[in-house]
Structure 1
Amino acid sequence: MSERPPQDDETRDDVLVRADPGAPDGSSEASAEPENAESEGETESLDEENILKADFVRAVKDALWDEDFDRVYELVEPLHPADIADLFELVDADQRLVLARSIRDLMGVEVIAELNDWVRELLVEALPPEVVAEIAGELDTDDAVAMLEDLDEEDQQAVLAEMEPEDRAAIESALSYPDESAGRMMSRDLVAVPETMTVGDLIDFLREHRELPTEFWEVFIVDPMHRPLGTCALSWILRCPRNIPLHDLMKREQTLIPVDMDQEEVALRFQKYALISAAVVDSAGRLIGQITVDDVVHIIQEEAGEDTLLLSGAGDGDINEPILLTVRARLSWLVVNLATAMLASSVVGLFQGAISRFALLAVLMPIVSGMGGNAGTQTLAVVVRAIATNQLTDSNTWRMIGREFRIALTNGTALGALIGVGTWLIFSNPLLGAVIAAAMVINNLVAGLAGILVPVSLNRFNVDPAVSSAVFVTTATDTMGFFSFLGLAVLVGLA
């Protein structure tokens, strides 16, 4: 166990302790030793799903409240860095800085890299620029960029000014690329060698150069202009004779990632081609970085939830996001939905006389619009996902439209028959049952077509279909649901 730091009133630069620069992998002493998942401490703190137990979190919070920092340290020390990062999300917001002070020599770069964006921003803002710069210098480039990109411009420049020139240049270069692009997420820690080397030359090179990355899966082979020619997996290198030239060994077919490619497209390429790592190239085709599968896992997790949150207008959906920002994001979409609801209600207003003469219409019409809305949401979710994963393209759009039309017609007919027969039996009015059945079929067809045509049209105009589609689809199903049901009722003389 590392020596406990004093727990008196510390200055801001004592909140966190940086990684030990002398450690071979740049990690802190506390995190350099491999964690034993079966240790007694972790067994007591984690449940069968590898999630921190509520009792454990409560014990940490109680110790923080009682200012029993020795107890806090004792509880947290056995945890894996990723579990320590989770713990910061689970304690109260006003306890996070105190927790960081209590365990500061456990707060290595591995914990910093795993922290939730909002939590990390809180901790980073509590530190002076020189301390943040030292932490950033120990992180991989992509993790350092993630830590600095959300800071205010003034704070960001202050941190960059404190960094070593080489590290500063790398981070400034990454920050110059668009948000959520390959340039932002790539790492510059890679191994690239000329094709003139032999396997023996490469093995000697890897052993002699201590400044090389500590973890990598393949070696990039480049030409004199530093353009990637191919790759050599470490398993190939270890199993081949020393005299084999790399140009005879390397795999020439490779997936190159343009530096400005969107991170969602990057994830799709990794998934499609089962990549472990991929070279990132600039506009001239020169190798400038690499993306590894561990980075892509985070992207897939982000993108998987992002579209769902956008469809609902729930903002970032992060429970650590400040309340004011969440309210602002949700309220803007609720105001838009209020306007569309007024449009739907205006359709109902056209049939006030019919509703007053036959009150059952008011009882049944929400069923038609509600079921249409549910059907539209189902189609919309499928289509938005298909667009995001490149399953829906120009070559199969019409086939997809025909497919959803048949699905909507089948579902509408089935639901119409059920509600029609039920209405007939309950209210002893076969004509009313026929009207609601026909309206159900019509609105389901509208829902199915709107659910695919709206996101496809928005995508054609380079508008993210996940952002705006739900409003248009809901408006279409509500308006057509009321209009078809009430209009048919008037047309057949029910009211």
Structure 2
Amino acid sequence: MTETEGKSETPEAREDAVPPILPEEDGAASERGNEHEIDQETDDLDARRFGRVQAALAVEDVGRLNEYLDPMHSADIADLLEQVSAPERQQILSLVPGQIDGEVLSELDEGIREEVIATLAPEALAEAVRDLDTDDVVDLVEFLGEDRQEAILGALDAPDRVAVQMALSYPEYSAGRLMQREFVVAPGDWTVGQAIDFLRVAEDLPEQFYHVILVDPAMRPVAYVTLGRLLASRRDVRLGSITEETFRTIAVDLPEKDVAYAFNQYHLISAPVVDDSGRLVGVITIDDAMIVLEEEAEEDILRLAGVSDESSISDGVADTVRSRLPWLMVNLATAIVASMVISLFEASLAELVALAVLMPIIASMGGNAGTQSLTVAVRALATKDLTRSNLMRVIRREGAVGLVHGLVFAVVMSAIELVWFGNAALAGVIAMAMVINLFIAGLSGILVPVTLDRLKLDPALASGTFVTTVTDVVGFFAFLGLATLVLL
């Protein structure tokens, strides 16, 4: 037992105690704010802060604007710029340009970021990014024009400039673009004491790092030591004896989505990046990997809905129309295909009006069931949980689920039809059509995205349209076809 175990200490009795996070009080304390405090009523706080900023903008009060923005976290300022209207955003940029530093730029949505960068003078932009890590600088400059790239690169120190230029030489969306060049290395035969002494006197340490990377004489990473293990070990302990089992290296040309998968799969905090010869060229940290995971998830959600992955709530009407119109046109084409199937049974519909009443139920149930299966499949493909080894098992499961759902709703719908129309033959027809369509919906929900993935196409982009078309066509054809054969 350590000396402090079992003792009763109050936070006030310890000099190093961390004060509790308390909600802001009304009045002056609320006005002051603190970027490290988290209000329990965050939504209300944001609404109040948003209103104050808008009020200050209305009278162009620079002093009040700076008073409100100074204590705000960079991410909150970025959110503010994304939420205000375009004219208000331009006001903020013109009245308090000093509030827009590199951290704010790195937090902005890409569309808004381009707009903000375009309004900044080259020297102001260069000053804003001077203190950023190289990976954040790369993220900012990779899609800028040459003139603005040169202005930013020219403001960087020579080592940082070379690091950014080297990162830009790697393929887009690769580990080379994602990594930062600031890292800490040490020989494996160093002791803990030597490593700590080195860290204490080093002048160019990264602002944040999680590991000391152990390298061989050829600068190839062989292991790493967490800072926690380093500080908890005796000074005479060799670094090579306290390394982490989670050590993995990332190839510099590995796609960033695979980098994010590795971090999530193996619970990594940081990982060294190596070139073709295995030499250390950078490091990727968990915050960058989590951003990629978030972007991939957001992209999948938007594409499943047929929306461009560059869409944002800050987009204007014209941009929003351009991003959504193409897939609406595709949906129109597939709807016409389904309507053509219906047109084959015009005589049946004219003779038995109940078919037209019940037909949308079959299509809707099939579409919803297919979407459920599809969503699970697309997510499993993205996380690499759906592979060749378990594909047949998942297909059988989705087919069985669809069949069970079909039988359940066949009973439900046949009972509803008997109460509604009192036609026993029609009840049998809708029951059979329900089983067929929900079974096909379950299979198509898994087979369509898997097929697109095998064809090297993004399953999130087109699966929804194809699955909906399949379930509509099969549902209409099964219901109307069986009705024609049985009833007419």
Would you say 1:392 and 2:383 are equivalent positions? no
Q: Which AA in structure 1 matches 2:212?
A: V
Q: Is the 8 A contact 1:230 1:251 kept in 2?
A: yes
Q: Is the 8 A contact 1:270 1:276 kept in 2?
A: yes
Match of 1:7 in 2: none
1:413 pairs with one of 384, 388, 407: 407
Q: CA deviation at 1:147?
A: 1.3
1:96 pairs with one of 89, 94, 105: 89
The residue matched to 2:130 in structure 1 has which SS? helix
Would you say 1:70 and 2:45 are equivalent positions? no
- CA–CA distance in 1 between the matches of 2:155 and 2:100? 21
Bigger drift between 345-354 and 139-148 goes to: 139-148
Measured against aligned partners, the alpha-carbon deviations of 1:436-476 in whole angstroms (never above 9, x if no partner) come to: 11111111111111100111111112211111111111110
- CA–CA distance in 2 between the matches of 1:168 and 1:234? 28
Match of 2:42 in 1: 50
Q: CA deviation at 1:247?
A: 2.7
Would you say 1:371 and 2:362 are equivalent positions? no
Match of 2:74 in 1: 81
Match of 1:237 in 2: 230
Q: Is the 8 A contact 2:191 2:239 kept in 1?
A: yes
The residue matched to 2:33 in structure 1 has which SS? helix
- CA–CA distance in 2 between the matches of 1:342 and 1:474? 12
Would you say 1:434 and 2:428 are equivalent positions? yes
- CA–CA distance in 2 between the matches of 1:325 and 1:294? 30
Match of 2:12 in 1: none
Measured against aligned partners, the alpha-carbon deviations of 1:162-194 in whole angstroms (never above 9, x if no partner) come to: 544433322222222233222222111110122
Match of 2:242 in 1: 249
Bigger drift between 55-64 and 377-386 goes to: 55-64
Measured against aligned partners, the alpha-carbon deviations of 1:234-256 in whole angstroms (never above 9, x if no partner) come to: 12222333333323333465121
The residue matched to 2:223 in structure 1 has which SS? strand
Would you say 1:490 and 2:481 are equivalent positions? no
Quickly say closer, same or farther: Cα 1:143–1:232, change in 2 above 3 A.
same
Q: Is the 8 A contact 1:137 1:167 kept in 2?
A: no
Measured against aligned partners, the alpha-carbon deviations of 1:234-281 in whole angstroms (never above 9, x if no partner) come to: 122223333333233334651211222222222222222221111111
Would you say 1:423 and 2:417 are equivalent positions? yes
Quickly say closer, same or farther: Cα 1:105–1:137, change in 2 above 3 A.
closer
Would you say 1:183 and 2:176 are equivalent positions? yes
- CA–CA distance in 2 between the matches of 1:158 and 1:37? 43
Match of 1:294 in 2: 287
Match of 1:358 in 2: 352
Q: Which 5+ residue runs of structure 1 have no aligned equivalent?
A: 1-34
The residue matched to 1:338 in structure 2 has which SS? helix
- CA–CA distance in 1 between the matches of 2:396 and 2:41? 43
- CA–CA distance in 1 between the matches of 2:22 and 2:358? 61
- CA–CA distance in 2 between the matches of 1:101 and 1:196? 55
User: How does 1:33-182 map onto structure 2 within 5 Å?
Assistant: 40=30, 41-42=32-33, 48=40, 50-51=42-43, 52-153=45-146, 155-157=148-150, 159-160=152-153, 163-182=156-175
Q: Which AA in structure 2 matches 1:223?
A: D
Match of 2:6 in 1: none
Q: Which 5+ residue runs of structure 2 have no aligned equivalent?
A: 1-20
- CA–CA distance in 2 between the matches of 1:429 and 1:83? 62
Bigger drift between 416-425 and 53-62 goes to: 53-62
- CA–CA distance in 2 between the matches of 1:113 and 1:159? 14
Quickly say closer, same or farther: Cα 1:252–1:445, change in 2 above 3 A.
closer
Match of 1:455 in 2: 449
- CA–CA distance in 1 between the matches of 2:151 and 2:334? 46
Bigger drift between 185-194 and 162-171 goes to: 162-171
Q: CA deviation at 1:154?
A: 5.2
Q: Is the 8 A contact 1:47 1:53 kept in 2?
A: no
2:397 pairs with one of 403, 427, 430: 403
Q: CA deviation at 1:156?
A: 3.3
Match of 2:4 in 1: none
Bigger drift between 151-160 and 389-398 goes to: 151-160
Q: Is the 8 A contact 1:113 1:139 kept in 2?
A: no
CA RMSD across the alignment:
2.3
Bigger drift between 310-319 and 191-200 goes to: 191-200
Quickly say closer, same or farther: Cα 1:180–1:320, change in 2 above 3 A.
farther
Q: Is the 8 A contact 2:377 2:449 kept in 1?
A: yes
- CA–CA distance in 1 between the matches of 2:260 and 2:398? 27
Q: Is the 8 A contact 2:130 2:155 kept in 1?
A: no
Q: Is the 8 A contact 2:60 2:95 kept in 1?
A: no
Would you say 1:213 and 2:206 are equivalent positions? yes
Would you say 1:282 and 2:275 are equivalent positions? yes
Measured against aligned partners, the alpha-carbon deviations of 1:52-97 in whole angstroms (never above 9, x if no partner) come to: 5323212211220221222222222222222222211222121113
2:465 pairs with one of 453, 468, 471: 471
Q: CA deviation at 1:301?
A: 2.0
The residue matched to 1:143 in structure 2 has which SS? helix
- CA–CA distance in 2 between the matches of 1:104 and 1:132? 10
Q: Is the 8 A contact 1:177 1:183 kept in 2?
A: yes
- CA–CA distance in 2 between the matches of 1:323 and 1:283? 46
TM-score w.r.t. length of structure 2 = 0.88
Quickly say closer, same or farther: Cα 1:400–1:332, change in 2 above 3 A.
same
Quickly say closer, same or farther: Cα 1:399–1:362, change in 2 above 3 A.
same
- CA–CA distance in 2 between the matches of 1:248 and 1:434? 73
State the aligned residue count: 460
Measured against aligned partners, the alpha-carbon deviations of 1:195-248 in whole angstroms (never above 9, x if no partner) come to: 232222222211112112132111001112211010011122223333333233
Q: Is the 8 A contact 2:34 2:71 kept in 1?
A: no
TM-score w.r.t. length of structure 1 = 0.87
- CA–CA distance in 1 between the matches of 2:417 and 2:39? 51
Bigger drift between 374-383 and 182-191 goes to: 182-191
